[in-house]
Amino acid sequence: MTHTYPYARPALAVDCVVFGLDEDDLEVLLIRRDLEPFAGKWALPGGFVRVDESVDDAARRELSEETGLGRVFLEQLYTFGDPGRDPRERVVTVAYYALVNLSAHRVKAATDAREAAWFAVTDLPRLAFDHDAIVAMALERLRGKVRYRPLGFELLPPKFTLGMLQRLYEKVLERPLDKRNFRKKVLSMGLLEELDEVEQDVAHRAARLYRFDKKRYRELEKEGFDFEL
Kindly list the catalytic residues: 115
**Cβ 88 to a copy of itself, closest distance in Å?**
13
Task: Rank residues 17 and 209 by Cβ distance to a copy of itself and give the closer one.
Answer: 17
**Cβ 30 to a copy of itself, closest distance in Å?**
23
Task: Rank residues 16 and 107 by Cβ distance to a copy of itself and give the closer one.
Answer: 16
Amino acid in position 120: A
Task: Rank residues 174 and 197 by Cβ distance to a copy of itself and give the closer one.
Answer: 174
**Cβ 10 to a copy of itself, closest distance in Å?**
5
213's CB contacts (< 8 A; 6+ apart) are 191, 192, 193
Distances (CA, A) of 164 to 115, 141, 168: 29, 21, 6
Task: Rank residues 8 and 113 by Cβ distance to a copy of itself and give the closer one.
Answer: 8
**Cβ 216 to a copy of itself, closest distance in Å?**
22
Query: Tell me, what DSSP letter sits at residue 150?
Result: G
**How far, in whole angstroms, is CA 207 from its chain's centroid?**
27
Contact 220, 206 (CB under 8 A): no
Contact 153, 206 (CB under 8 A): no
Applying CB under 8 A, the residues found at the interface with a copy of itself are 2-12, 48-56, 58, 76, 78-79, 81-83, 90, 92, 94
Q: How many residues does the chain have?
A: 229
Give the H/E segment covering residue 144.
helix 131-148
